[in-house]
Structure formats: structure tokens, C-alpha cells
A and B are shown apart, each in its own frame.
Chain A
Amino acid sequence: MQQLGYLKETPSQTAGPYVHIGLTPNFCDITGVYDSDLGAEMVNDKTLGERITVTGRIFDGAGALVRDAVVEIWQADSAGLYNSPSEMRGAADPNFTGWGRCPTRAEDGVYSFETVKPGSVPFKDGRKQAPHITFWIVARGINIGLHTRMYFPEEAEANANDPLLLRIEHRERVATMIASRDGATCHFDIHLQGPKETVFLDI
């Protein structure tokens, strides 16, 4: 029989407690190497769309704050286009990166992103996905980065028809992927384990 000849993916390892040295050195007072931490700015004065702040905390299985995580987000622009070479549907807003990176603060465990509300993007079969932001979380004690999504509470109808949310068997868990909203601020807490555990994805 012929061999398929594929390689195996490099196995993941935890990012560890000192992940900030590599990913956000200025945040941990290693200054002068990079001008600024990568992913700190997603928008500028010309970015199109509704400005929002996305913020929250991460909790472990005992309800304690995870104060040493790094959160990355990836999202479409306000028109629903990704700022990526693999985006074939059109050119995304050049004043929006679509990607952000933020550590949870040691004092209060809070992460925060200044961004815009994403437009809707299609599912593989052409159905609309509700507006969402993809999250990736790494930290000490997490062996492989955790993916999830944040949805918007004011999009009740779109959320009710979202192809991913529809696949959640235990319907009460859908709420773990929907932020709460206070004006321009979206609060999205993530629970790694336990009764309020966030739905995590194998994507």
C-alpha cells in the first residue's frame, strides 16, 4: 500500500506562567526590545463600524481568577470580512487588524480589547452565522490553547439561527457563549471548569 506521507502536528505544551515575556514583554516590564506589544491595538481613528470594548475575566474550577492567562481574539470587520490573505470575498477594512492579544491583569484578572462589532459571516453551507468573536486562551495549567466564541446579547434572532449555537446539545450551555452588554462594553467571562463551564471548541 502507498504511504500517505503526512507529518504529525508538533504537540502543544503549556504557555507557562511567564508567557508574557514572549508575547507581551512590555506588559511585564521588558522594555526596549519591541516598540509595543503585538496585538495591543486593533483599531485606529479611521476604522469603520461600531466601537465596542470587550472585557472579562477567566475563572478556574474553584472559582478563582486566572491572573496569568493571555487571551487572543480574531474577528471579522464591521462588514463581515477578515483581514487575512485567505479572505476571498473582498478586501477587509485596512484600518482594522481583526486580531488582538491581551493578558489578564495580575491584580484583578481582567482582560480588555478596544475593537468594533463584527459583521455577519457565512457558514460553510451558506447559512448566516451570528456576529461573533473567536477567542483563544493560553495559560499555566492549560496544555493546549482553548478556543471558544463570544456572541452578542442584542442579536437574539441571529443567535437563535446560528449554525454553531444550534449544535449545542445542552441548551442551557448556549448562554456561556453570549456576552452581557452595558452600552459599548461587552462583558464576557470565561469559566474553564465546573457548573458554569464555557463551551470550548475543537476547530
Chain B
Amino acid sequence: MSERPNSKPETGAFFGRDRAWHAPAFTPGYKTSVLRAPQRALLSLDGTISETTGPVFGHSMIGELDNDLILNYARPGESAIGERIIVHGRVLDERAKPVAGALVEFWQANAGGRYRHKKETYLAAIDPNFGGCGRAITDEEGRYHFRTVRPGAYPWPNGVNDWRPAHIHFSIFGHGFAQRLITQMYFEGDPMIWKCPIVGTIPDKAAIEQLIAPLDWGNTIPMDSRAYKFDIVLRGRRSTMFENRLEGN
């Protein structure tokens, strides 16, 4: 954990979360949510220092291959099998300000849709050179990037014939614990997106579109890797114009 260079920390509370934009907790089309959704209303709390602060991670914790899923689990001289892609983008807040020093973690299945996890029993093969995890910390302009193989779709026991679209899971830390976010990135043009009960937990089509990364032809490396651009927006925070001014002060 370390200070971010050249930036004055902000201390304001975060914009309230628009919970009509996010999925509700209870979404019976996604069956596991039925017994894991709180039934009582959430207790609202405008940001205290317990929520406006959060851990910040130093660039020094990132290893050389942490953002290269093609190589970070591969045996020497070998590499993961699949369509080689670069995923890059910026982490911004709702004010469109870059979030510098944000830790971005990502995980995914291999090119055949198989996760490296002991609970996973899908018959598609494990790739001996693919682990499926990576991480990066955003630069001063909020940029991150990583290299991987495009994950495959995979079936899951929800409906009789439900398949997840190709997706990469993302976990993001902003500057305050109230910004903590986990989400999933989908790929432009994938017809599976609109059949998926997990995607369908999100009520607003415009919100779903925010999770679909376009093919970024300009950043595609000829004879090597195609590129997808995925920007992430975290909650904005209020300026501290009149914060914490007690009556009479």
C-alpha cells in the first residue's frame, strides 16, 4: 500500500449508488440468487470515513507477467492455446475522472470454456499452460491492459440448456471501500449475451451494453493479437464544499 504520486487525495463521500441501474438481489431467472438475496431493505448510510477510505496497492506488488495470461502459468517456452487478444481500457469515476492506482484483477475460463477450479467438471479439456488469473494497477490516466486468450462459452446447471457467453470477470478497487466492484466483461457481437440469465439480471439494456467490450481494430497488433477495449466506471465522489461543517461553525 502506498501513496499515489502527484495526486491530492480526495475525501468526499461517494455519489449514491443507482440500484435501479444495477441488478436487484432477487432475480429468479438466475436460480442461485433466490436463496442468497436479502429480503429486508438495505439500511442506507451516507459515507462515513469507514466507507470513503479504502486500501490502495503499490505498483511494486505487480509481477512482470501478472498481466499476461498467455505466459503467466505456461511452462518455459510454451504458451496458452486460443485466440490471442489484448484487453485494455481505463478506470474512470462517474465524473469521468481517471482513477489512478486502481487495482484491477481478472479471471476467466480457457479457450474451450473450462475453468481451472476443482469444483468445475465440464468435459472440455484443461489447458496445461493456462491458469486464468491476472492483475494490473492503473496508471496516472487510469489505464490498464492485459494479454490473454479469448475465453470460450460454457454450459452451467441453471436452466436445462443455459450457456454463459464468453466473458472475463473483473474485480476493481477504487480509492474508497464503497467503490468496491465485481463485474463481467462480454465481447461485441456475441449472440449468447442476450440469452444469458446472469446478464439478464440487469434490468436496463443500456446498462448491459456498458459491459460489452467493442473490438478495437486500431489497437490490434498485426499477425499477433486482436484488441478489445473495456472502460470501467466507478462511483464518483462529492467535492467537500460543505462537508462536515457543524452548525454554528
Contacts and interface: CB of A to CB of B under 8 A. Distances in A.
A129 B48 contact: yes
B138 interface: no
Contacts of A141: 30, 32-37
A21 B107 contact: yes
B236 A6 contact: yes
A120 to B, nearest CB: 11
A12 B22 contact: yes
Contacts of A68: 119
B210 interface: yes
B35 A10 contact: no
B227 interface: no
Interface in B16-30: 16-19, 21-25, 27, 30
A25 B118 CA distance: 12
A202 to B, nearest CB: 4
Nearest to B177: A74
A5 B210 contact: no
A33 B133 contact: yes
Given A141-B30, A141-B36, A33 B72 contact: yes
Given A17-B119, A146-B38, A167 B202 contact: no
Given A7-B96, A21-B107, A22-B106, A142 B25 contact: yes
Contacts, number: 275
Given A10-B232, A22-B106, A123 B48 contact: yes
Contacts of A44: none
A7 to B, nearest CB: 5
A22 B43 contact: no
Contacts of B119: 17-18, 68, 106
Interface in A18-65: 18-23, 25, 28-30, 32-34, 38, 60-62, 64
Contacts of B94: 6-9
Contacts of B10: 86
Given A20-B117, A28-B118, A141-B30, A15 B169 contact: yes
User: Is chain B's interface secondary structure helix, strand, loop, or mixed overall?
Assistant: loop
A144 B22 contact: yes
A8 to B, nearest CB: 6
Contacts of A106: 119
Interface in B23-74: 23-25, 27, 30, 32-40, 42-57, 61, 63, 65-66, 72-73
Given A16-B169, A28-B117, A61-B36, A10 B233 contact: yes
B195 interface: no
A200 B38 contact: yes
A201 B42 contact: yes
B55 A97 contact: yes
Given A29-B118, A85-B175, 15 more contacts: A9-B94, A10-B181, A14-B184, A15-B169, A22-B171, A62-B35, A84-B176, A86-B11, A122-B49, A132-B50, A141-B34, A145-B180, A192-B35, A192-B36, A192-B38
Interface of B: 1, 3-4, 9-11, 13, 15-19, 21-25, 27, 30, 32-40, 42-57, 61, 63, 65-66, 72-73, 92-96, 105-107, 115-120, 131-133, 135, 169, 171, 175-178, 180-184, 198-199, 201-202, 206-208, 210-211, 232-236, 243-244, 246
19 contacts: A7-B93, A7-B96, A10-B181, A11-B211, A13-B198, A18-B119, A19-B169, A22-B132, A30-B133, A33-B72, A64-B35, A72-B180, A124-B13, A134-B50, A144-B22, A164-B45, A193-B35, A202-B19, A203-B51
